[in-house]
Amino acid sequence: MKKYLLIGVSAFVLGAGSMAYVSQHAQAAATQPKANTYRMLGLFGDVLDIVERQYVTPVDDTKLIHAALDGMLTSLDPHSNYLDPEGFDDMRDQTRGEYGGLGLEVTTEDGVVKIISPIDDTPAAKAGLKPGDFITAVNGDSVLGLSVTDAVKQMRGKPGESVTLTIAREKSDPFDVKLTREIIKQKSATAKLDGDYGVLRVSGFNEKTTDEAQAAFAEIKAKNPHMKGLILDLRRNPGGLLDQAVGISDLFLEGGEIVSQRGRDPRDVERYNARPGDITNGLPMVVLIDSGTASAAEIVAGALQDRKRAAVVGLTSFGKGSVQTVIPLRGGLDGALKLTTARYYTPSGRSIQKTGIEPDLEVAASKDEAQEIANKAFGFSEASFKNALNADEGKARKGAHEPAEAPPEGFDVKKDFQLTRAEDVLKYGSVAATPKLAAPTARLAAILSKSKVAEAKPTAPKQP
């Protein structure tokens, strides 16, 4: 029996791949179902029979059963679901780093399709779609209430054909975006020189990521052999293959643990370790993260932070700290189950499920982003899902607060403020030695804070 380990963030992918292949032939011993289980299975059959005979129009039995399977699994957590045979084939294709689509990674929330992240250099990214946007219609047809699988099918089609998405965005009226489907050949790792520093951008983790990253670094190192530091940019990286997250971490570590995963049985622990050899020969490093940094990307950030290999700059990451196992049914002929089977832990033993990786230097990309952090306890993160797997050991994500830094008055809006501050950390040698900027003033947050104080004061009871 072949299983697949997933650590990607989304419930369904229109972008980067999200699984790692491992061969496992062990299968959990079957447990004797309880009598109540047999009764409930009989109830399911009775309901299916009634629907077949009495629903107002003829029904498709296969579609009904697939929907029931998906509903059962999605009730567990946002990342467990049923993949029909077509969906399972699509998922396997996506991990190869070349596929047709729009370049979106999406999930569903309360029956609405929500964008987790657009993929770099794809139609979705070029059109300006953002994490947290809602897709309410495709080519004018509503997708509200559809499963993520069915909604995605509405968006798929032949490369070269156009599709119009209706987008709902906070503080904006709904608007249409016309996209042209492409064969997306995703290059998940690129690099550039910015003065004395190298910037290695990793946008996702597919089968080619570690090789691409190593080649990209070698190219900029050849251009500037006296490079003074490296910035690993993991912002808006939704995750992907576990082995590639381990591979990227391994490029910069001389040994020791990168990540461990632990299942229901406390004895079921699997550890992944680095091998000797650092491709940078010990160059100072900074990792850039934000709320769109998820799953496999959080493994890398957490490993380099815990091992004191790199300072982390940016915003608290998404907080997706669970592992999914994809279990093919009849070799994939009946699709597959995607089931949450473990949490993953950083080298220091941190489970970041719901909580995320907190940066060593918190930096907002803009004043508006700083304001959003001040006003919202969670924003768009794993903790915002109603049925997310609980954080380990009762930990909670940091609530609404003023981020440490935001672009000051006069900062060139065309420049990347978070990248600038990452370079400052490299320049001064550490976060502690880097001169700090004044914290931004969050106007609405102060008003909300006063309102909460007022609400806390006792008031006289009112008559209905």
Partnered with residue 112 across adjacent β-strands are 109
The helix (H) or strand (E) run that includes residue 420 is helix 417-428
Q: How far is Cα 177 from Cα 165, in angstroms, rounded to an integer? A: 5
Is 295 known to be catalytic?
Answer: yes
Selected catalytic residue, list 233, 243, 290, 306: 306
Q: Which of 10, 18, 188, 295 is catalytic?
A: 295
φ/ψ (deg, to 5) at 323:
-115, 135
- Using alpha carbons, list the distances in angstroms from residue 254 to 92, 246, 276, 304, 358: 32, 13, 4, 11, 24
The C-alpha angle with vertex 348 and arms to 339 and 228, in degrees rounded to 5, equals: 110
User: Tokens 């107002």, residue?
Assistant: 56
Characterize the bridge pairing of strands 81-83 and 98-101.
unpaired
**Paired sense of beta strands 311-314 and 361-362, if any:** parallel
Residue 404 near residue 431 (C-beta atoms within 8 A): no
Q: Of the residues 3, 114, 320, 338, which is catalytic?
A: 320
Q: Which DSSP state fits 426? A: H
Query: Is residue 233 within 8 Å of 201, Cβ to Cβ?
Result: yes
Please give the sequence-ordered ranges of beta strands (E in DSSP) within 7-138, or none if there are none.
12-14, 20-23, 81-83, 98-101, 104-109, 112-118, 134-138
The structure tokens listed for 354 are 């719901």
User: What tokens appear for 5 in the block?
Assistant: 């380990």
Pairwise CA distance, residues 394 & 47, whole Å = 39
DSSP classification of residue 4: E
139-to-125, 142, 143, 307 alpha-carbon distances in Å: 19, 8, 10, 49
Distance of CA 115 to the CA centre of its chain: 10
Please tell me the distance from the alpha carbon of residue 18 to that of residue 13, in angstroms, as a whole number. 8
Tokens of 338: 């995607």
Active site residue 306: yes
Q: Please name the residue that has the structure tokens 């990227």.
A: 248
- Give me the count of residues in the chain: 464
Q: Quote the Cα angle for 254-260-263, to 5°.
A: 170
Q: Say how far apart CA 115 and CA 105 lie, in whole Å.
A: 6
Q: Are 431 and 311 in contact (CB under 8 A)?
A: yes
Where in the sequence numbering do the catalytic residues fall?
A: 295, 306, 320
